[in-house]
Chains A and B, each alone.
Chain A
Amino acid sequence: MFAFSDKRPEISPDLRAALRPITLAKTKLIPLADPWGSFVPDGGLRRGSTVVVQAPAGWGGLSVALSLLSEASACGHWSAVVGVDDPGVSAIVDLGLDLRRVLFVPRPRGAWAEAAADLLDGVDLVVVRPPSKAAHGAARKLMDRVRERGAVLVALTEPTAPWPLPAELSFDITNARWVTSSRLEARYLTVRVGGRGNAARSNEHVVLLPDRSGRAVAS
């Protein structure tokens, strides 16, 4: 049932070699735009790691998850967005992503984990929003796959349906406040950054996302 179960047809060795990323997992960080880079221990996203972005509905979780991709996307990395039903494409451009290298799988039906697993073979960053609480087994398999492929998984969840496993990095949005004039201007997000290992000490930061140009900046 899973894309990477035993039933999956074998990939021939030469094709596997061709598919393998040129740089190995641990040798490279995937770049992270400011202000995010200054919040995390390595200043970037470590290949093979999983990042959890957790926010109540409508509090900017999607903006944060996409913003984490912006620098990598601008640098030429491929990324994919799974399970976000109606992505606002022009907002994504404003966030700094290069749409020529972003794949969208808006409605993976029941197969969000399989779709994400398939994409991890081909792109460097995958944002996935599970439709409901992710099963422990599915999350485990997906994170193993991320590690094996040297990609980065960004899981977008709500506090009512958290990601079932600890992740290398986590971004918890604890407050959202809009700045308004005669229109929506910008939004202050309070983000608690934590994780395992070096990132274990959690820190709270206030980020302007979106700012007046739609991007993320430190406040």
Chain B
Amino acid sequence: MERLLGLWVDDLIEERPDGSSLRTFADLLDVLVDICPFVEPIRLGFLTLPLRGPSRFFGGDEAVFAAVRAAVRDVTGGDARIGVAEGLFATELATRQCTVVPAGGSAAFRRAQALEVLGRKELTTTGRRLGLYTVGAFADLPPARVNERFSGAVRVVHRVARGEIHELPDQRDRRLPQQLRALRGTVHHVDEQSGFFGQRTAGDDRAAAAVYRLRHRLGAEGVLVAELHGGRSPDDRARLVPWDAPRTTKLDPAPWPGQLGAPTPTTSFAHPVAVEIFDESGAPVRFSGRGQLSGVPSSVALTRGNPRRVAWSAGPWPLVERWWTAPRRRAHVQIVLEDGIALLLTTEASRWWLTGMYD
């Protein structure tokens, strides 16, 4: 999972009556966007940015920390707490404790925290009686036991403790993006973006009521809505988020260069399936450094099953991604199987993945 750099500015967490905290925070965001375009405000005084890209660009994590600290000093004149971890929940804790959690160490870090950090009083009290003092001890309780004993809110928190969800439900300030936009004078967008049910109609209310009921049945992540981005491959262009998750971006119809045009796959696998492609002679087909395939695809082995004959194929379409992140050499290939099923395959690091199906 992606490592996030958290930045916590003590001077800004209090909302001041004259709105100066918010303005300073907006200024800080403006400066940080130059360091990383994916900086994300979480709450007033707390923001995150993905570490990997800037780290490669600046030449190391320390260089990024220095750049961020300099930006804070320029804007606020003060200092800030910086922490690094994976997932928003662990990142906030690491940031408050000024800790840089090494890659892969976030689970251990999370488990070692006191139970209070989950922010549920009833859980802390009951947990102490049960002899549970850390997040890890609570996480080890079987979900069934938690369901018996606690309310739905604690069940969600339990999933956070287990690392199945990476942020607490109330960790983000939902109003903040809107406040920031209002500050920039783009308040007229609020209708579209203030929430999923921006301009409420009777139909919206009915839908919301049905979703609440369904979430009760299936859990908080059972009902999803789509959010569009401007990525290049179908799986980067859009994603599904739980229906009341904070909407981070607005609809972005601007096509990115290199985007595969329509038709796009109607099934876009969230977890691509490893496949193998063979040419006429039975040799595996590889994507070469010069952007070509080593042979014409003639059969595809989905999972361990029998190879299926390929009736037609096209590509490769190489993709060179954001230049400042680790270079990912990827390429897409479209194939049609003998029975008329069309698939989108992606190659990366000499492996093939089934990423989409044109159902």
Contacts and interface: CB of A to CB of B under 8 A. Distances in A.
Interface of A: 3, 18-19, 21-22, 56-63, 66, 76-78, 84-94, 99-109, 111, 114-115, 118-124, 176-178, 180, 182-184, 186-187, 210-214
- Count chain B CB atoms within 10 A of each CB in A56, A120, A180 and give the residue with the most: A180
Contacts of B238: 89-90, 93
A59 B209 contact: no
Contacts of A94: 262-264
B203 A118 contact: no
Nearest to A76: B203
Contacts of A105: 214, 218, 222-224
Given A99-B225, A103-B225, A78 B359 contact: no
Nearest to A177: B340
Nearest to A214: B262
Given A58-B341, A108-B218, A180-B312, A91 B210 contact: no
Interface residues of B, number: 53
Contact of A84 (B207, B262, B267): B267
B317 to A, nearest CB: 8
Contact of B225 (A60, A104, A124, A187): A104
B325 to A, nearest CB: 22
A104 B240 CA distance: 8
19 contacts: A18-B205, A89-B238, A90-B228, A99-B225, A100-B198, A100-B225, A105-B214, A105-B224, A115-B218, A123-B207, A178-B342, A180-B314, A183-B334, A184-B358, A186-B263, A187-B263, A210-B263, A212-B262, A214-B262
Contacts of A56: 339
B234 A103 contact: no
B264 A118 contact: no
A88 B339 CA distance: 21
A212 B261 CA distance: 9
A59 B341 contact: yes
B95 interface: no
B357 A100 contact: no
A78 to B, nearest CB: 5
Contacts of A182: 314
A59 B336 CA distance: 11
A208 to B, nearest CB: 11
Contacts of A100: 196, 198, 225
B293 interface: no
Contacts of A103: 207, 211, 223-225, 243
B58 to A, nearest CB: 33
A88 B264 contact: yes
Contacts of B208: 122
Interface in B292-318: 312, 314-315
A88 B264 CA distance: 8
B239 interface: yes
- Count chain B CB atoms within 10 A of each CB in A61, A78, A118 and give the residue with the most: A118
B145 interface: no
Given A88-B265, A90-B228, A104-B226, A122 B240 contact: no
B217 A78 contact: no
* Shortest Cβ-Cβ A-B pairs, 10 listed: A122-B210, A58-B341, A214-B262, A89-B238, A210-B263, A88-B268, A62-B359, A91-B264, A89-B226, A104-B224
Contacts of A3: 217
Contacts of A101: 203, 207
A111 B263 contact: no
Contacts of A176: 340
Contacts of A212: 262-263
B359 A61 contact: yes
A56 B209 CA distance: 35
Given A100-B196, A122-B213, A212-B263, 11 more contacts: A58-B339, A60-B359, A88-B266, A88-B356, A105-B214, A105-B223, A122-B208, A123-B206, A177-B340, A184-B336, A214-B264
Given A22-B202, A109-B218, A178 B239 contact: no
- Count chain A CB atoms within 10 A of each CB in B196, B217, B340, B359 and give the residue with the most: B359
- Count chain B CB atoms within 10 A of each CB in A19, A89, A118 and give the residue with the most: A89
B311 to A, nearest CB: 9
Contacts of A92: 226, 266
B226 A86 contact: no
Contacts of B202: 18, 22
A211 B263 CA distance: 7
A213 B261 CA distance: 8
Contacts of B340: 58-59, 176-178
Interface string B186-230: 000000000010100111111111110110011000111110100
